[in-house]
Structure 1
Amino acid sequence: MWLVVIVMALSSPAMAHEMSPAIADIEIGEDSLEMSIILQGEAMVAGIDLSSVTDTNNSPRADAYDALRALSPDAFSQRLQAAWPDLSDGVRMQAGDTMLVPELVEASTAEAVSDALPRESRVILRAALPDDGSDVSFGWDAQYGPIILRQIVQDLPEGQEAYSAFLGPGQMSAPMPRTGTVEITGLASFANYVWLGFTHILPKGLDHILFVLGLFFFSREARPLLYQITAFTVAHTITLALASLGVVSVPASIVEPLIALSIAYVAVENILRPKLSRMRLMVVFGFGLLHGLGFASVLGEIGLSPAYFLASLIAFNIGVELGQIAIVTTAFFSITVWFGARPWYRQRIVVPASVLIGLMGLWWAVERLIL
């Protein structure tokens, strides 16, 4: 199963665009609301299902996406504005039992940061509210993918924090009051961040999945895997915490290529030096520091809960660990249980898998550095 995933990834063309969650800021007044959404405009207009596709090249609508991407930002902004009446059918806003009809105030598209990254489009919506004082909820169709929702509240009492949530595809927000903000319990906040950490690995973190698989294929014995996973976990926990606290900040343009190279390195070492050494553990620890910076990027988008900062950080890390455990467990029962004792296991399973993982890592490094 995992080898199929790797082969599919290797077969992707050069202009892959990995989708990230939309980000929405909503401000609710007594009689109206305004929402600003940063979204993947070309993917939505092209009809790509963002609930199941994280890379545009894996969609049957990839050609339509590429044609839209070739338009200038101004030209695509006009296309997005023209398509919005249809797209807005998938946007669900309601106040109590009243369905709201948001008006498109503005649609714009930014210049691309690089050809390998999707452009960011922004829509600003406004909607009138009924005069019953009812709470407001927001969500959109699953095909538009996940969205990070942040409530903007002016003059919050000291000790309170504005509501923010990571909404999975098709998920509705908690009801948001017109004054003040949503009361979130510590337990609910903890569970939300566990889920956020888990989904950052499965299904979205293909680079992290391949790195963990690189560790898995190093040896069929449990002890070398345990040592490596422990070194990796300790390291990414350190940098995740430091980056979340603002102590460390490294640009994604540096972190992402190095993460790709880390994938290639462990794969090559699986082939050339399949014996656990202190150097291997040091290298895994070093790469764990890089991956922690990568994990921190998603937390930078949604932000850690100030009221439950430490608990949220721990919860996110637990979610990441659960995702890694799920990868290793699935690989073990899919591969090692059936073939681990065979004399040809290394020659026919480990080496080919490591070659594919290494090639994928090298390709990503080239793509992120040059293309």
Structure 2
Amino acid sequence: MSAGRLLRALAALLLALGSWGPATAHQPSDSLLELRVQGERIELAWDIALKDLDAELDLDADEDGQLRWREVLARWPDIEALAAAGLRVGPSGGEACTGLRGLRPQLIEHGSGPHVALRAQLDCGRPPERLQIAYTLFAGSDPRHRGLLRLQGADAEHALSAVLNPREPARDFALAAGHAPGFAAFVVEGIWHIAIGFDHILFLVALLLVCVLRWDGRAWQPATAPRAAVAEVLRIVTAFTVAHSITLSLAATGVLAPPSRWVEAGIAASVLLAALNNLRPLVQGPRRWMLVAAFGLVHGFGFANVLQDLGLRQGELLAPLFGFNLGVELGQLLGVALLLPLAWALRGRAVYRRGVVGGGSLLIAALAAYWFIERAFELG
């Protein structure tokens, strides 16, 4: 492929990322599903984000931008019907358990905002040895949605955790004691989370664009030593990884739980400052990766949104936490592997330094400023 085509591909990638806008920036859509099997009955606790239900059912009847409890109550039968259609639980090879109707309307608050709380006793007719779960909530409208499952069988000391993808077929779960958490599923979820977290992606893109350049005090110039460029990338990725792994662990285990609003605003601010630093570099050398580490602490709290509401005990948390973090790192490394060779091949062209780095950083900065205002002042 010629350098011109490579340049056009890189520019198109930046425009595509920017065109997704704030609606897709690190706003994961997750419901929290807990099932406790007790003989032929199953205790169900299912929390679905109110913002997701509003997007699906248009609950804001007066369209004033404020969702009120009376508006939720007026559509409660529709909420129940949507939930009942989106979840089928039953013994493997048997009839579905019944009881996901006629529930008391209630809300519960999680770090990501208010959730509708569905509490029910499901009747399965017989004690299941294996449980089949078909999860299809929002399957046709939101490809980012996931169900975070905690399943407890006869052994109260052990539980299984898994991520349910609405577009996957029904899954069978063994209820034997000591069943290990779904490690591989959380690796996949970590990769998926970084793929849809466009604010995280743009933060790394802004940092990586100039790793193949050097600042001479007036303008960006192409780097001449590939080893130095690779070393700079390794320092940045390592600093970011170590920092966000620390706060991801602290938040997921409940040690620290800052308000989601300020975490999301802080992530937007980190993207904004990284992009502005490309336009007028004020932080270079070792200070740059130290700043990346500081921002990585904030990003770690954002990554933890997927795990911190699962309610896992300490012994159950290790595999999901490690698997999810591993998936995040694999997703980051894939992005670096795609972007870095392309940037290195184009670094000598003025249009890369002025158009891609300059224009791309302006686009990223404008988008990040929009995100910051929207999140800090809760305008979305």
Q: Same fold (TM over 0.5)?
A: yes
Aligned counterpart in structure 1 of residue 34 of structure 2, from 25, 28, 33:
25
SS in 2 for 1:108: coil
Cα distance in structure 1, aligned partners of 2:334 and 2:184: 18
Give the TM-score of the pair, scaled to structure 1: 0.78
Kindly indicate whether residue 18 of structure 2 is the aligned counterpart of residue 7 of structure 1.
yes
Q: Tell me the number of residue pairs that the alignment of Structure 1 and Structure 2 aligns.
A: 342
CA gap 1:2/1:313 in 2 versus in 1, 3 angstroms: same
Cα distance in structure 2, aligned partners of 1:24 and 1:291: 25
Match of 1:56 in 2: none
The residue type equivalent to 2:151 in the other structure is Q
SS in 2 for 1:202: helix
RMSD (Å), alpha carbons: 3.4
Instruction: Name the % identity.
Output: 27
Match of 2:231 in 1: 223
Match of 1:363 in 2: 370
1:201 shift after superposition:
0.9
Kindly indicate whether residue 84 of structure 2 is the aligned counterpart of residue 88 of structure 1.
yes
SS in 2 for 1:138: strand
Q: In the TM superposition, what whole-angstrom CA distance separates every residue of 1:159-198 from its partner, at most 9, and x where no partner exists?
A: x421221212234444253xx65612xxx74323322322
CA gap 1:191/1:237 in 2 versus in 1, 3 angstroms: same
1:251 shift after superposition:
3.1
The answer to whether the 8 Å contact 2:276/2:365 transfers is yes
Match of 2:103 in 1: 106
Cα distance in structure 2, aligned partners of 1:259 and 1:339: 29
SS in 2 for 1:105: coil
SS in 2 for 1:39: strand
Match of 2:146 in 1: 146
Aligned counterpart in structure 2 of residue 211 of structure 1, from 203, 207, 210:
203
1:134 shift after superposition:
4.0
Q: In the TM superposition, what whole-angstrom CA distance separates every residue of 1:229-277 from its partner, at most 9, and x where no partner exists?
A: 1211122223333444554443333322222111111111011118841
SS in 2 for 1:151: strand
SS in 2 for 1:324: helix
Give the TM-score of the pair, scaled to structure 2: 0.77
Kindly indicate whether residue 77 of structure 2 is the aligned counterpart of residue 77 of structure 1.
no
The answer to whether the 8 Å contact 1:105/1:124 transfers is no
The residue type equivalent to 2:356 in the other structure is I
CA gap 1:346/1:312 in 2 versus in 1, 3 angstroms: same
Match of 1:58 in 2: none
Unaligned 5+ runs, structure 2: 1-11, 213-228
Kindly indicate whether residue 278 of structure 2 is the aligned counterpart of residue 280 of structure 1.
no
Unaligned 5+ runs, structure 1: 49-63
Q: In the TM superposition, what whole-angstrom CA distance separates every residue of 1:201-227 from its partner, at most 9, and x where no partner exists?
A: 112x22211111111112324332222
CA gap 1:83/1:367 in 2 versus in 1, 3 angstroms: closer
The answer to whether the 8 Å contact 2:158/2:316 transfers is no
Aligned counterpart in structure 2 of residue 267 of structure 1, from 257, 275, 280:
275
